Amino acid sequence: KVVAVIMVGGPTKGTRFRPLSFNTPKPLFPLAGQPMVHHPISACKRIPNLAQIFLIGFYEEREFALYVSSLSNELRLPVRYLKEDKPHGSAGGIYYFRDIILEDSPSYIFLLNCDVCCNFPLPDMLEAHKRYGGMGTILVNKVSAESANQFGALVADPVTNELLHYTEKPETFVSDLINCGVYAFTSEIFDYIQDVSIHREGRANLRRVSSFEALQSATRNLPTDFVRLDQDILTPLAGKKRLYTYETMEFWEQIKTPGMSLKCSALYLAQFQLTSPHLLASGNGTKSATIVGDVYIHPSAKVHPTAKIGPNVSISANVRVAPGVRLISCIILDDVEIMDNAVVINSIIGWKSSVGKWSRVQANGDYKDKLGITILGEAVIVEDEVVVTNSIVLPNKTLNLSVLEEIIL
């Protein structure tokens, strides 16, 4: 048997995702019209002998309850949300729920970060993991040398694929091969997490009887039950023949900012051509508007036949798109109204917002730049003939004048 665990984090983790994380937990933000966490979950369906999917996080239970129960029905597979009372770290979280995760004695446990975008080659990873015979197999990928320091950088044996060296977010260049945040483990992982926990408890007790400076390590402020998968487990186990790597040549991105969510929406829409063409507007007989490239339109949205939409557009529930509208590379969230002849390019339009007649909401589309994507928070009103360029607008604002490169608080 196999179980999969998806780490969804909690409200304090989503700060870079503002203002879009104000009223929706980041894991439920739609990419290609589906909640972020839907993509790894549907990839899990392809794992042979999958018995359960767990989401672990510290968001309020009710925020996930509805989603998780409808998903369980849809997949005909038990999906459970396990809520931590406080953050335990990426390894501490699974350890905290070890009894539930190990209930059916699974032989293998997949662990996935929810904020990565890739094609999740899980069955292939599992095969490789069995061949290697280690405790864990990490999905890895090559990135540009300049960006490698934002991730866990690693060195692997080119022949055996063994993990030889691992540094989390290194200050100087280590390697352009990085940790993708997707792992296959045997249940032995729990023994290693327990070791770290016990070790830490021992040191905490020592500190109580001694004020020795040397005992004060970098981990001194961490609670004993807070265990990080990367620094506390992967780094010390590298080079010990317990960890191996599986390299993906397909797309991989991390989703920490709204700009990256727009990029990842495009990647998932493109993947739908292979996996779920019925979800694309061009593939499901949507004849009304002119569709260019990959577009998702929720069935409840009303799009005027004279609108032109795409590529990379995702339109959520109850959106209304008026005559003559042009939408390119954007995410339009629930209940938005785009009025006659408005243009939206490289932008995310928040829930219940409206864009007035002949208005433009636009940006240059530089995903890595903070103002490279224009974002309207929830219930923003852009009045008629207003141009909003490379800006972030917080919820409930009304714009009656054009703005350029501004953050409207």
Q: Which residues bind ligand GDD (CB under 6 A)?
A: 7-9, 13, 56-58, 84, 87-90, 93, 113-116, 151-152, 168, 178-181, 230, 254
Q: Closest distance between ligand GDD and the C-beta of residue 130, in Å?
A: 23
Q: How far apart are CA 134 and CA 125, in angstroms?
A: 12
Q: Closest distance between ligand GDD and the C-beta of residue 50, in Å?
A: 20
Contact 192, 233 (CB under 8 A): yes
Q: How far apart are CA 25 and CA 23, in angstroms?
A: 7
Q: Which residue lies nearer to ligand GDD by CB, 178 or 330?
A: 178
Contact 49, 74 (CB under 8 A): no
Q: Closest distance between ligand GDD and the C-beta of residue 107, in Å?
A: 23
Q: Closest distance between ligand GDD and the C-beta of residue 373, in Å?
A: 20
Specify the long-range contacts of residues 320-326, CB closer than 8 Å, at least 24 apart.
321/289, 322/357
Q: Which residue lies nearer to ligand GDD by CB, 27 or 356?
A: 27
Q: For 289-315, give one letter per residue: b (16+ CB within 10 A) or e.
A: bebbbbbbbeeebebeeebebbebbbb
Secondary structure letter of residue 319 according to DSSP = -
Q: Closest distance between ligand GDD and the C-beta of residue 358, in Å?
A: 41
Q: Closest distance between ligand GDD and the C-beta of residue 198, in Å?
A: 19
Q: Closest distance between ligand GDD and the C-beta of residue 177, in Å?
A: 10
Contact 84, 57 (CB under 8 A): yes
- With tokens 């063994």, the residue in question is 162
Q: Closest distance between ligand GDD and the C-beta of residue 237, in Å?
A: 14
Q: Which residue lies nearer to ligand GDD by CB, 118 or 332?
A: 118
Cis check for the bond before 25: say yes or no (omega within 30 of 0): no
**Strand pairing category for 79-83 and 50-57:** parallel
Q: How far apart are CA 372 and CA 227, in angstroms?
A: 35
Q: Closest distance between ligand GDD and the C-beta of residue 74, in Å?
A: 23
Q: Which residue lies nearer to ligand GDD by CB, 99 or 213?
A: 99
Q: Closest distance between ligand GDD and the C-beta of residue 389, in Å?
A: 31
Handedness of CA 219, 221, 225, 230 (dihedral sign): negative
Q: Which residue lies nearer to ligand GDD by CB, 13 or 326?
A: 13
Which of these, 136, 135, 138, lies nearest to 155 by C-alpha position?
138
Q: Which residue lies nearer to ligand GDD by CB, 14 or 310?
A: 14
Secondary structure letter of residue 150 according to DSSP = G
Q: Which residue lies nearer to ligand GDD by CB, 93 or 136?
A: 93
Q: How far apart are CA 363 and CA 366, in angstroms?
A: 8
Burial bucket for residue 318 (CB in 10 Å: 0-12, 13-18, 19+): middle
Q: Which residue lies nearer to ligand GDD by CB, 230 or 294?
A: 230
Q: Which residue lies nearer to ligand GDD by CB, 173 or 216?
A: 173
3-state helix, strand, coil in the chain (%, to 5): 25, 30, 45
Burial bucket for residue 49 (CB in 10 Å: 0-12, 13-18, 19+): exposed
Q: Which residue lies nearer to ligand GDD by CB, 254 or 347?
A: 254
Q: Closest distance between ligand GDD and the C-beta of residue 371, in Å?
A: 23
Q: Which residue lies nearer to ligand GDD by CB, 143 or 342?
A: 143
Contact 308, 290 (CB under 8 A): yes
Q: How far apart are CA 316 and CA 322, in angstroms?
A: 15
